Structure 1
Amino acid sequence: MMNISDKIQILRHDKEWSQDELAEKLNVSRQSVSKWESGKALPDSEKVLAMAKLFDVSTDFLLKDEQEPVFVDDEQEKQPESQAADAPTENTEKKKHKLSGKKIVAIVVAACIVIAAITPLFFGGYSAFLSKISEDPVQYPYVLVHGLGGWGPESQIDQTSPYWGSSTGNLAEYLNSEGYSVSVASVGPFSSTWDRTCELYAELTGTKVDYGEAHSKEHGHERYGREYTAENALVQNWGGKTKRGQRIKINVIGHSFGGETVRLLASLMAYGDEAEKAATGDETSGLFTGGKADWINSVTTLCSPHNGSTLFYVVDQGKLVNTVLGLVYAASGVARSAQIGDFYDFRLEQFGMSGASTESQAESIINTVFSEGTDNAAYDLSPDGAQELNKKIKLVDNIYYFSYSYLTTETSALTGKQIPKSSTLPVLIIPATLMGRYSTNTKTDFKIDETWLPNDGLVNVVSARYPIGDEYQEYDAENIVKGKWNVMPTLPGDHGTVIGMNVGAEETHNFYDTLFKMIDSQPRDKKYYIF
C-alpha cells in the first residue's frame, strides 16, 4: 500500500524541496514533516488541504491508500514460524533475490516508457511523436514598469508619446511584432515604492489595488485603490500551470524608479509581509502572503537608483519637482504651456487627490505628497530612504537579476569633477553638473565620496549597479547566475537613452532584442512534463 507518508515524500522530491522548505511553506517545523514522511505522525486536515494545494493534487489522492504489487514467496508464507526459524540461511538467500514492490513498479514504468517511445517508430508516427516531446517550453511574458514621473497606457500621453520608446516609436508594439509577449504597466508616477508595487500586482492579476491594512494605517491613506478586471489582467493566468506542468512566470523590467518597484514585487511575492498578514489574516492580499518565489523568472533594472540619488541632496524639493515635470514635458513632446491634466494621470487617489489642470497645480500636488511623511517617491529615492527600502527587499534564489547603468558625464580637466557630455539631454545638463560635483554629504549622515560623481543626469552610476549589501558579480556571459546581481558593463548615454530618448530606433531596438534573447536563453530549473 502506498500511504500518505510515501506520497508526501514523493511529491516533495518531485518539487525538489527539502524538508525545511516544505515545512516553511506549511508553517510547521521540519520535525513535523519528517514524522509525516516516516509514518510516525499524520498531518491534520488543515495541513492536508494546504499540501493538496501546494502539490496541485486532490485531498483524496493524499488520503486514500493505493495498492502496490507485492511479491511474496507462497511457500514461505505458508511455512510455520518454527520451521522458518530453523532455516535462516535459506530465507536470507531468498531475500537476496526478492524484488520489493517499489522496485517492480519502477521497472514496469520504465518498460512502459520505452515501449511508448519505440512503438511510433514501427507504426509511422515518429514525426508526430517527436513533435510532441520537443514542443517549446512556455514563453515567459515581459512586463515593463516606468520610473519617477513616468506613465503607461492609461495616460493619454502614451498614445502619442510612449514612455517606452519615446521618439523611436512604441517599443512594446515593436517587441510584440518580433514575437515576444510584452505588456506595459501603469503605476503612480510620484507614489512610494510600496504603493507602486501594490498597483503593479493588481494590474498584473486583474484585481483591486490593496495597499495593505497595516501600511495604509501607518501612512494615513486609503487601503484600496483602482480596480482591474480579470479579463484585462496584464498577464493571463500568471503563476498558473500549463497542461504539461510548466509554471507561467514573468520577466519584469523597470526603468529608473521602476527598478525598485520590480525588486520589491519579487521580494514580496517570495517572502510576503508579516505585518500585513498579522493585520488582515485570511483577507490578506496575495501580494503579502508570500510563497510565490517561482512566479518571476527575471528582474532587470535600467538606470535604477538602488542606493538613491545625490540629486536629492543638491537641489531643493521645488527644483526637483520642476526638473521632473520638465522631463515629462520633454519626453512627451508637449509644450509646457499645455494643460497637463489633459494628458497626464497622477494616480494619487489613495491620498484623496485628483488630477491637476495646469503645471502650477501639478507642482502643488507633487510638493504636497513629497512633504508629508515617508510614503512617497522623494523619500525612497534619497540615499537615506533607499537605505531603509533596501532593508525590506531581499534577493530570491531562483530569480535572475540584471542591472544596467549609463554614464553621461566625464572628468573635467580643470576641476577633476564630472561634467556632462555634449550629447546629454538638455533638461539633464544642470542635474548632471550638480551631481558631478557632490562628493561629500553635508545634509545627512549617509556617506558619499568621489565614486558617486559619475552619473546619467539623474542617477549615480554607483547606485545603478547594484544595491549596497546585495550579492553581485560582474556580468559573465558564460556564468550567468541566479539569486545575485549580474552587473552589466556601464553603457554610454544619459537617463533617457535606454528608453529611446535622444537616440535612434535601431540602437534602442537592438538593445532590447539582445536583452530578451539573453534572458530567454537561460536554462530553466524545472522539468517539463511530456505526457
Structure 2
Amino acid sequence: MARVLNFLIIILELIAFKKAFKWHGLKKNFIYYTQISNLLTLVSSILLVIFGGKEPVEVLRFISVCMLIMTFFVTACILVPMSGMLKELLFSGSGLFHHLLIPIISTFSYMLIEKRVSLKWMWLPATVTLAYGLVMLYFNYTKRLEGPYPFFLIRSNGVKMTVVWMTCLLLVVSAISFAVGYHSPKKSDLKFIFVHGLSGWGSYDTQYEYFPYWGTSHGDIIRYLNEKGYESYAASVAPKGSAWDRACELYAQLTGTRVDYGKAHSEKAGHERFGTDYSKQPLLNNFADSRFVLIGHSFGGATVRLFSELIRNGSQEEIAATDPDDLSDFFKGGGGDGLYAVVTLAAPTNGTTAYDLYEDESFDVSEIYVPEEYIEKSKRMSGVSTPVYDGRQLWDYAAFDMHIDNALAMNETITTFDDVYYFAYPCVSTKVGENGLLEPDPEITEGLFIKGSTYMSRYTGTTAGGFIVDESWQPNDGLVNTVSAGAPIGAPSAEYKEGQTINPGVWNLMPATTGDHMSLQGGLTKRVNVKPFYLKLVKMITRLFLPV
C-alpha cells in the first residue's frame, strides 16, 4: 500500500511541478520552501517505490513529510491570512497539489502505513528548515533576493522581529517533527520474530506492503508493535515447503547468509542444496548477539520449533554427510543461546485431521451434508493447501508434515529446552448446533473453511500409523484441531492461568481463542482487530524478560 500511495504522490508531484514551472520558471521555483519540500517528496517517493522501506529512504521520507506539513501550516496560517488569497494558494494551480493534496496524502501514508524512522533522526527537519531560513536571510540581507516569504524581509522587518519570526517557525517545525516522528522507545532488547503459515508471506514479499499477513484487516502488526517499542520482524519462508526447508530459510534471513538446505537433506529430497542469499538484506543486523522470541502461526509453529532444535542441537545426519569446512553453522548445533521464548498460534503441532480424514476409508464424507455455497467456497482452499510439485520428494512439503503421524514423528525429534518459555494458543470456531452435533459457527468461520471444518467436527478414526483420533479432536478452527494446537503430545505442559508463575521448559497451554484459523491474522471477511492480542502477548513476554 505504501508503494501505491507513493506512486500516486509521484504522479501528483509531476503534475504540480509542470504547473509551477509554467508559472514561476525553473530557476525561481527553488527559492521557495514549498518547492524544495515537494522536490524532496518526489525523490523520496521514487526511492520508496523502487527500493522499499530502507532506512535512508525512510529518513528522507520523514524529512519531506515534516517539511510538507510545515508548508501547509505556513500557507494556511500565515500566507492566506496576510494575503487573503485562499483560493489561489490552496485550491488552484500548483498550490492545490503542493500546499494541500500532496501534504495530506504523504502524511497519511507515512503516519499510518510506512515504517517510521528511529527517534535519533527527529532533529533533521528543523535543521534543514533552519539551513534554508539562514540562506534566505543572507540573500535578503545582501539584497540578492527579496522574499520569497514576508518573514525573510530582514531589512524592513528589523533584526528583532526577524529573530522572533525564525524562533516561532523553528518551534513549529520542531513540534511537527515530534508529532510525526515520535513513537515509543524500545521496551527491551528482545526481538520478536514472526513466521507465517502455509501459503503465507512476510516482509521480503512485495504483497506484504499491500496486504500484511500479520494484521490483515486492521493494519500491519509488525509496524504497530515497533511503534509501541517492541522490536518485531516478519520472516518470509517457503509458502508450501517442509518445516525443514522453512527452518533453513529462517536461519539464513536471521543471520544474513545464503540458504543452505543441507547436503544430506537436499540430496534425499531432490532439490538444490543452496537457495537465496540474504547477506545483503538480513532480517536482523546482529542476530548472534540478540535475545529473540519466535512466533509461528499455523505451520509457522512447526517451523519455529524445528528451527529451535536445529540451531541448538544441530543435525547428526548433516554432520555425518558433510565436510566440516562445508557444513552450515545451523547444522553444527551449539547456537541459539539467544532463544528466549517460542510461541505457536493455531499451529498443527500434533497434525491435523484436515488431511487424515480424507485418507481414512472408514470415514465417508459424502454422508455429511454441507450447503452448496460452502462447497463452492471451499474450492478456493485447494490452491492454498495443495503443493505445486516441482520434482522433489513428496515428504518435503508442508502437506506431508501436517499429517498426524508425520507431525508426531517430528515432535519426537524436537526438544523442549529448560531455559526457553513456551506458549501455545489454539483457536476454536465450532459450536454445538440445533441438531446436537458439532459444527462450524458461520458467524466467525470463513466460508472457505466451512466444508472442511464440518468434516473435521464429525471425524473419529485411526491414522495409518495407529494413532486413535477420538471426539476430543472434533473442535477445530477450520483447518487445525483445537486439541492439536496445544502442547506437543508428551511434552511437559500446564494450562495457563492469569497471574500464575510462568516457568521455562514447560508448554503453557493458553485459553482457546474464539475464532477461525485466520482470526489471529486479523481475518478476511470475519474481520478481527488483533492488535490488543499481540500487544498483550509481547508485554507478557517482555515482563518475564524484565521482571518488575
**Normalising by structure 2, what TM-score?**
0.59
SS of residue matched to 1:294:
coil
SS of residue matched to 2:303:
helix
Structure 1, unaligned runs of 5 or more: 1-134, 241-247, 320-326, 331-335, 337-358, 526-531
Relative to 1, partners in 2 of residues 1:224 and 1:496: Cα closer, same or farther, differing over 3 Å?
same
Relative to 1, partners in 2 of residues 1:235 and 1:363: Cα closer, same or farther, differing over 3 Å?
closer
Q: Is the 8 A contact 2:463 2:469 kept in 1?
A: no
Matched, 1:439 2:460: yes
Matched, 1:292 2:331: no
| Superposed displacement of residue 445, structure 1 | 2.2
Q: Is the 8 A contact 1:148 1:377 kept in 2?
A: yes
Q: 1:50-89 residue pairs with structure 2 within 5 A? A: none
Deviation string, structure 1 residues 356-391 (Cα, Å, up to 9, x no partner)? xxx99x789825259943111111001011011111
C-alpha distance in structure 2 between counterparts of 1:186 and 1:222, whole Å: 19
Q: Which residue of 2 aligns with 1:392?
A: 413
C-alpha distance in structure 2 between counterparts of 1:365 and 1:439, whole Å: 23
C-alpha distance in structure 2 between counterparts of 1:137 and 1:365, whole Å: 41
Matched, 1:196 2:196: no
Q: 1:408-419 residue pairs with structure 2 within 5 A? A: 408-419=429-440
Relative to 1, partners in 2 of residues 1:371 and 1:453: Cα closer, same or farther, differing over 3 Å?
farther
C-alpha distance in structure 1 between counterparts of 2:519 and 2:385, whole Å: 29
| 2:287 pairs with one of 222, 230, 238 | 238
Amino acid at match of 1:430: K
Q: 1:114-129 residue pairs with structure 2 within 5 A? A: none
Q: Is the 8 A contact 1:270 1:396 kept in 2?
A: no
C-alpha distance in structure 2 between counterparts of 1:294 and 1:371, whole Å: 33
Q: Which residue of 2 aligns with 1:81?
A: none
Q: Is the 8 A contact 1:266 1:396 kept in 2?
A: no
Deviation string, structure 1 residues 114-151 (Cα, Å, up to 9, x no partner)? xxxxxxxxxxxxxxxxxxxxx99951111110001111
Deviation string, structure 1 residues 90-122 (Cα, Å, up to 9, x no partner)? xxxxxxxxxxxxxxxxxxxxxxxxxxxxxxxxx
Q: 1:311-326 residue pairs with structure 2 within 5 A? A: 311-315=354-358
Amino acid at match of 1:249: R
Amino acid at match of 1:193: A
| Superposed displacement of residue 221, structure 1 | 1.5
| Superposed displacement of residue 504, structure 1 | 8.6
Deviation string, structure 1 residues 458-507 (Cα, Å, up to 9, x no partner)? 00011001111111111143210101201101111110111111489884
Relative to 1, partners in 2 of residues 1:521 and 1:420: Cα closer, same or farther, differing over 3 Å?
same
| Superposed displacement of residue 285, structure 1 | 1.0
Q: Which residue of 1 aligns with 2:218?
A: 168
Q: 1:249-288 residue pairs with structure 2 within 5 A? A: 249-280=291-322, 281-288=324-331
Relative to 1, partners in 2 of residues 1:369 and 1:483: Cα closer, same or farther, differing over 3 Å?
farther
SS of residue matched to 2:276:
strand
Q: Which residue of 1 aligns with 2:520?
A: 498
Q: Which residue of 1 aligns with 2:266?
A: 216
Relative to 1, partners in 2 of residues 1:234 and 1:453: Cα closer, same or farther, differing over 3 Å?
same
Q: Is the 8 A contact 1:420 1:432 kept in 2?
A: no
Amino acid at match of 1:252: L
C-alpha distance in structure 2 between counterparts of 1:384 and 1:364, whole Å: 18
Q: Is the 8 A contact 1:202 1:209 kept in 2?
A: yes
Q: Which residue of 2 aligns with 1:53?
A: none
| Superposed displacement of residue 440, structure 1 | 1.7
Relative to 1, partners in 2 of residues 1:374 and 1:207: Cα closer, same or farther, differing over 3 Å?
same
C-alpha distance in structure 2 between counterparts of 1:502 and 1:365, whole Å: 20
SS of residue matched to 2:461:
coil
Amino acid at match of 1:181: E
Deviation string, structure 1 residues 268-309 (Cα, Å, up to 9, x no partner)? 111111111122223211111111242211110000000100
Relative to 1, partners in 2 of residues 1:408 and 1:364: Cα closer, same or farther, differing over 3 Å?
closer
| 1:378 pairs with one of 393, 396, 399 | 399
C-alpha distance in structure 2 between counterparts of 1:408 and 1:175, whole Å: 27
Amino acid at match of 2:409: E
Structure 2, unaligned runs of 5 or more: 1-184, 366-373
Amino acid at match of 1:234: L
Q: Is the 8 A contact 1:213 1:279 kept in 2?
A: yes
Matched, 1:508 2:527: no
Deviation string, structure 1 residues 426-464 (Cα, Å, up to 9, x no partner)? 111111111001012365522100000000000001100
Relative to 1, partners in 2 of residues 1:143 and 1:503: Cα closer, same or farther, differing over 3 Å?
farther
Q: Is the 8 A contact 1:168 1:501 kept in 2?
A: no
Matched, 1:478 2:503: no
Deviation string, structure 1 residues 380-406 (Cα, Å, up to 9, x no partner)? 001011011111111111111111011
C-alpha distance in structure 2 between counterparts of 1:504 and 1:174, whole Å: 21
C-alpha distance in structure 2 between counterparts of 1:301 and 1:365, whole Å: 23
Aligned length: 347
C-alpha distance in structure 2 between counterparts of 1:511 and 1:178, whole Å: 14
Q: Is the 8 A contact 1:168 1:504 kept in 2?
A: no
C-alpha distance in structure 1 between counterparts of 2:480 and 2:534, whole Å: 21
C-alpha distance in structure 2 between counterparts of 1:305 and 1:187, whole Å: 17
C-alpha distance in structure 2 between counterparts of 1:480 and 1:255, whole Å: 22
C-alpha distance in structure 2 between counterparts of 1:460 and 1:442, whole Å: 15
SS of residue matched to 2:469:
coil
CA RMSD of aligned residues (A): 3.1
Q: Is the 8 A contact 1:151 1:186 kept in 2?
A: yes
SS of residue matched to 2:193:
strand
| 1:158 pairs with one of 208, 223, 226 | 208
| Superposed displacement of residue 219, structure 1 | 1.5
| Superposed displacement of residue 266, structure 1 | 1.1
Amino acid at match of 2:342: V
C-alpha distance in structure 1 between counterparts of 2:282 and 2:206, whole Å: 19
Q: Which residue of 1 aligns with 2:486?
A: 465
SS of residue matched to 1:368:
coil
Q: Is the 8 A contact 2:270 2:392 kept in 1?
A: no
C-alpha distance in structure 1 between counterparts of 2:487 and 2:390, whole Å: 28
Q: Is the 8 A contact 1:250 1:298 kept in 2?
A: yes
| 1:206 pairs with one of 235, 246, 256 | 256
Matched, 1:302 2:345: yes
SS of residue matched to 2:287:
coil
Whose relative contact order is higher, 1 or 2, with alpha carbons under 8 Å and at least 6 apart? 1
C-alpha distance in structure 1 between counterparts of 2:264 and 2:232, whole Å: 33
C-alpha distance in structure 1 between counterparts of 2:408 and 2:463, whole Å: 17
SS of residue matched to 1:226:
strand
